[in-house]
Amino acid sequence: MTLVSVKENRATQLKEPVSTAESTEMMAYCPGCKAFQTVWLNGDRLMNTRKFTQVGDSIYHNCGSAQPCRLYAL
Protein backbone atom coordinates (compact mmCIF):
# COMPACT_ATOMS: atom_id res chain seq x y z
CA MET A 1 0.00 0.00 0.00
CA THR A 2 1.35 3.35 -1.00
CA LEU A 3 0.13 6.51 0.49
CA VAL A 4 0.65 9.54 -1.62
CA SER A 5 0.45 12.71 0.30
CA VAL A 6 -0.19 15.82 -1.62
CA LYS A 7 0.83 18.93 0.13
CA GLU A 8 -0.96 22.04 -0.84
CA ASN A 9 0.62 25.29 -0.19
CA ARG A 10 -2.17 27.66 0.31
CA ALA A 11 -1.17 31.20 0.71
CA THR A 12 -3.32 32.69 3.34
CA GLN A 13 -4.59 35.89 1.99
CA LEU A 14 -5.46 38.09 4.84
CA LYS A 15 -6.72 41.51 4.13
CA GLU A 16 -4.39 44.10 5.41
CA PRO A 17 -5.93 46.28 8.04
CA VAL A 18 -7.08 49.53 6.60
CA SER A 19 -5.33 52.46 8.13
CA THR A 20 -8.54 54.33 8.66
CA ALA A 21 -10.32 52.77 11.59
CA GLU A 22 -13.89 51.77 11.24
CA SER A 23 -15.77 54.98 11.47
CA THR A 24 -19.37 55.94 11.07
CA GLU A 25 -20.70 59.15 9.71
CA MET A 26 -23.62 60.51 11.66
CA MET A 27 -25.68 63.64 11.69
CA ALA A 28 -25.66 65.46 14.98
CA TYR A 29 -28.62 67.61 15.78
CA CYS A 30 -28.16 70.15 18.51
CA PRO A 31 -31.43 70.85 20.33
CA GLY A 32 -29.93 74.04 21.70
CA CYS A 33 -29.20 75.95 18.51
CA LYS A 34 -30.99 73.59 16.12
CA ALA A 35 -27.85 73.00 14.14
CA PHE A 36 -27.24 69.93 12.04
CA GLN A 37 -23.68 68.87 11.49
CA THR A 38 -21.92 65.76 10.32
CA VAL A 39 -19.76 64.06 12.91
CA TRP A 40 -17.63 60.95 12.74
CA LEU A 41 -17.75 58.21 15.32
CA ASN A 42 -15.18 55.51 15.79
CA GLY A 43 -17.23 52.82 17.44
CA ASP A 44 -19.03 54.83 20.08
CA ARG A 45 -16.29 57.39 20.43
CA LEU A 46 -16.54 60.75 18.83
CA MET A 47 -13.64 61.37 16.56
CA ASN A 48 -11.82 64.64 16.75
CA THR A 49 -14.53 67.01 15.76
CA ARG A 50 -14.40 70.69 16.24
CA LYS A 51 -17.42 72.20 17.94
CA PHE A 52 -18.39 68.95 19.63
CA THR A 53 -17.36 67.39 22.92
CA GLN A 54 -18.13 63.92 24.14
CA VAL A 55 -19.15 63.49 27.75
CA GLY A 56 -19.82 59.86 28.59
CA ASP A 57 -22.18 58.61 25.93
CA SER A 58 -23.43 62.05 25.02
CA ILE A 59 -22.12 64.54 22.55
CA TYR A 60 -22.47 68.20 23.29
CA HIS A 61 -22.28 71.08 20.89
CA ASN A 62 -20.02 73.86 21.98
CA CYS A 63 -22.72 76.47 21.55
CA GLY A 64 -23.38 76.08 25.27
CA SER A 65 -26.41 73.87 24.97
CA ALA A 66 -27.05 71.88 28.15
CA GLN A 67 -28.81 69.21 26.12
CA PRO A 68 -26.76 66.63 24.31
CA CYS A 69 -26.95 66.37 20.57
CA ARG A 70 -29.12 63.74 18.99
CA LEU A 71 -27.38 61.52 16.51
CA TYR A 72 -28.95 60.30 13.33
CA ALA A 73 -27.51 57.64 11.08
CA LEU A 74 -27.15 58.72 7.50
Residue 21 near Zn ion by CB under 5 A: no
Least separation in angstroms between residue 31's CB and Zn ion is: 8
Query: Do the Cβ atoms of 32 and 15 come closer than 8 Å?
Result: no
Query: Do the Cβ atoms of 33 and 65 come closer than 8 Å?
Result: yes
Of the pair 32, 40, the CB lying nearest Zn ion is at 32
Residues 26, 59, 60, 61: which binds Zn ion (CB under 5 A)? 61
Q: For binding to Zn ion (CB under 5 A), which residues are involved? A: 30, 32-33, 35, 61, 63, 65
